[in-house]
């Protein structure tokens, strides 16, 4: 009988100087490399005994990715695999924004602060919301500079950009005055109530935007991904109420 011996190597440095180092919670064999001193799993076993749709819906609720692993008893790798799959199956953002049909529509601009890895690494989300459809017309994530705000303006459809608009007194919004129908107002005026209410919904559904929360984003990629996933789902719900 012919038998084949496979020589295993360290996944990090490809060294052959490795030994067994226990098991993970999922029953996967860990190995320890004496050269790079890292402990890794060679052959990971994935469990498919869970509700895929329920896991994907949990990404849109106030649950951290670590919380998803505890609730559904699956590994971190499986959670990230499902999250990346959601990103691949995600519809195009522009197709979920209703075309402007009403003459008297109004845009509201505002920004919300978040962070990734540490509080000094702030990630501001800028958004423009339609007062009639309640949809997020465009959004960007970046710093709080005028350059980031100009990125937002370039993403707004031209028919919406011609509408009357309101914002707070942040200096970046002053460039909108050149279009002639933009007004900077205070929160007490009530002209930015809809975008402020949207931020409350975002904080209620996405835990990484909650103030003083430990469920902040560790990687910028997933910070962008979860935010986009929620905004598209929110726009789809608004679109279903219009027709």
Q: What is the pTM of this model?
A: 0.80
> Over the chain, what is the mean pLDDT?
88
Question: How confident is the model over 132-184, as pLDDT tens digits?
Answer: 999 999 999 999 999 999 999 999 999 999 999 999 999 999 999 998 899 99
Domain 94-242 has CATH 3.30.420.10: yes
DSSP structure class, residue 79: H
65: nearest Cα among 76, 56, 73: 76
128 within 8 A of 152, measured Cβ to Cβ: yes
3-state SS of 41-57 is ECCCCCCCCCCHHHHHH
Compute the distance between CA of residue 218 and CA of residue 151 in angstroms, rounded to an integer: 24
Compute the distance between CA of residue 71 and CA of residue 56 in angstroms, rounded to an integer: 13
The full set of domain ranges for the chain reads 9-45, 49-89, 94-242
Q: Does 112 have pLDDT greater than 90?
A: yes
Question: How confident is the model over 170-225, as pLDDT tens digits?
Answer: 999 999 999 889 999 999 999 999 999 999 999 999 988 988 877 788 889 999 99
Instruction: Read off φ and ψ for residue 41, nearest 5 degrees.
Output: -100, 130
Q: Which range, 53-57, 87-91, 141-145, has the best average confidence (pLDDT)?
A: 141-145
């Amino acid at each position: 009988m012919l038998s084949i011996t496979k020589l295993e190597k360290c996944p990090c440095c490809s060294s052959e100087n490795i030994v067994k180092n226990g098991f993970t919670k999922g029953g996967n064999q860990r190995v320890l490399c004496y050269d790079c001193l890292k402990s890794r799993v060679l052959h990971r076993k994935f469990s498919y005994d869970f509700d895929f749709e329920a896991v994907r819906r949990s990404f849109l609720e106030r649950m951290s990715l670590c919380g998803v692993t505890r609730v559904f008893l699956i590994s971190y790798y499986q959670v990230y695999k499902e999250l990346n799959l959601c990103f691949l199956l995600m519809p195009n953002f522009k197709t979920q924004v209703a075309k402007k049909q009403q003459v008297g529509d109004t845009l509201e601009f505002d920004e919300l602060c978040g962070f990734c890895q540490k509080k000094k690494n702030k990630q501001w989300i800028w958004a423009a919301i339609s007062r009639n459809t309640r949809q997020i017309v465009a959004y960007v994530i970046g710093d709080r500079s005028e350059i980031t705000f100009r990125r937002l303006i370039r993403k707004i459809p031209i028919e919406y950009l011609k509408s009357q608009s309101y914002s707070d007194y942040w200096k970046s919004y002053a460039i909108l005055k050149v279009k002639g129908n933009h007004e900077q107002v205070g929160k007490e005026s009530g002209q930015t109530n809809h975008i402020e209410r949207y931020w409350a919904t975002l904080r209620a559904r996405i835990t990484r935007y909650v103030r003083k929360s430990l469920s902040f984003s560790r990687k910028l990629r997933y910070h962008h991904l979860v935010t986009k996933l929620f905004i598209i789902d929110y726009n789809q719900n608004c679109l279903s109420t219009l027709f």
